[in-house]
């Protein structure tokens, strides 16, 4: 009996020690594992102010994106789209205008994707064969899936955004907003080509895209009879814009306060800017009539002077600021 008692006591002591060890180890294990999960989880709070350049994975490869974070960590964002001659090192909004200063103290993140020359920020049918393009453009996919997914890990909303662009980026902004209404509440077009399937426009774009990087327009939306041309024409898909907050602008093309040509090349560039803005004005006025016929309101700005150039677009961005901040509740 005594031997059995000792044996039972030893077994009880061993079980008690095991339970105590488990009681000590399990909380520590939970603490360690809990810390590892927390560290691996993506950040959900947007940085409060500051400027950053990041590379975001896409089907086209890593895409550089310049970001100015909302001043007080807000979740709203404004995508700023470049023009036809978009560069691969910087988005021109970041250095050709004072956009960063305009919105530095606002609770709105500026998102400036880099690259996309002659892309119209669209998903192309194939890579351009004129310039041996290594990958097929997939800009709509990037701007509406891959980039928002990344920004969400930094605390930016997937649904409270605006998109604004100039020239090529103007029509692209309206296209993106029309087909992705869950993402964009505001769209702005400055000197945009808003009737790209109008007579003569395909030929004009063909010439322009060859000039800007030797891109083949047929690789973008196919031949003139392809439905993709209509899908990407704001004049055609205008009914899809009902209820969207819009700022639409184009100047007269007449030289204004920012046009001061001095050298021969200055006069050539100014002449080109006059012609391009005149064409943008015709497209934009046609688009205005189209929206009016549908009973769809928008804010319009048609300055009496101004050419197809950055100082005028910087000014128009500032004019749109109040509407953008009101729409996105980002003051």
List 171, 277, 309, 314, catalytic entry: 277
Q: Taking a C-beta distance cutoff of 8 angstroms, is the pair 301, 135 a contact?
A: no
153 SS3 class: coil
List 118, 157, 167, 314, catalytic entry: 167
Pull the structure tokens for residue 14. 């061993």
Pull the structure tokens for residue 150. 């990344």
Pull the structure tokens for residue 7. 């044996």
Rg (CA), the chain: 27
- Cα separations (Å) of 265 from 24, 130, 212, 279? 79, 28, 18, 21
CB atoms within 10 A of CB 178: 20
Place of tokens 């006025």: 285
- Distance from the Cα of residue 309 to its chain's centroid: 20
DSSP code per residue over 199-267: TTHHHHHHHHHHHTT---HHHHH-STTSHHHHHT-HHHHGGGGTT-EEEEE---SS--TT----SHHHH
Place of tokens 């895209």: 209
Rounded Cα distance between 38 and 30, Å, is: 12
- Cα separations (Å) of 23 from 28, 32, 33, 111, 178? 9, 15, 16, 50, 58
Respond yes or no: is residue 252 known to be catalytic.
no
- For β-strands 161-166 and 63-68, DSSP reports them as unpaired
Respond yes or no: is residue 277 known to be catalytic.
yes
**Residue closest to 216 by CA, chosen among 125, 112, 144, 151:** 125
Pull the structure tokens for residue 331. 């003051």
User: 113: which strand partners?
Assistant: 65
List 171, 308, 309, 314, catalytic entry: 308
Respond yes or no: is residue 171 known to be catalytic.
no
Catalytic residues: 167, 277, 308
């Amino acid at each position: 009996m005594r031997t059995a008692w000792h044996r039972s006591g030893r077994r009880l002591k061993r079980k008690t020690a095991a339970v105590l060890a488990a009681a000590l180890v399990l909380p520590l294990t939970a603490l360690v594992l809990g810390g590892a999960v927390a560290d691996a989880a993506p950040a959900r709070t947007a940085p409060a102010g500051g400027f950053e350049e990041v590379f975001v994975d896409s089907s086209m490869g890593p895409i550089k994106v310049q970001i100015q974070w909302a001043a007080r960590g807000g979740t709203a964002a404004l995508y700023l789209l470049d023009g036809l001659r978009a560069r691969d090192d910087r988005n021109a909004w970041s250095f050709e205008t004072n956009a960063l200063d305009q919105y530095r103290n606002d609770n709105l993140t500026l998102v400036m994707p880099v690259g996309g020359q002659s892309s119209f920020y669209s998903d192309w049918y194939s890579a351009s064969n004129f310039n041996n393009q290594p990958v097929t453009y997939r800009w709509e996919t990037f701007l509406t899936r891959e980039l928002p997914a990344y920004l969400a890990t930094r605390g930016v909303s997937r649904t409270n955004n605006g998109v604004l662009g100039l020239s090529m980026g103007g029509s692209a902004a309206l296209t993106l907003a029309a087909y992705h209404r869950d993402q964009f509440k505001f769209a702005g077009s400055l000197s945009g080509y808003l009737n790209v399937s109008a007579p003569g426009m395909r030929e004009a774009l063909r010439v322009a895209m060859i000039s800007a990087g030797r891109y083949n327009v047929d690789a973008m939306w196919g031949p003139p009879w392809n439905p993709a041309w209509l899908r990407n024409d704001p004049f055609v898909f205008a009914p899809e814009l009902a209820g969207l907050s819009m700022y639409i602008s184009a100047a007269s093309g007449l030289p204004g306060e920012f046009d001061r040509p001095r050298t021969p090349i200055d006069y050539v560039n100014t002449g080109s800017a006059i012609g391009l803005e005149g064409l943008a004005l015709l497209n934009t006025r046609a688009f205005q009539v189209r929206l009016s016929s549908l009973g769809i309101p928008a804010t319009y700005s048609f300055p009496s002077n101004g050419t197809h150039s950055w100082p005028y677009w910087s000014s128009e961005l500032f004019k749109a600021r109040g509407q953008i901040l009101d729409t996105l509740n980002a003051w």
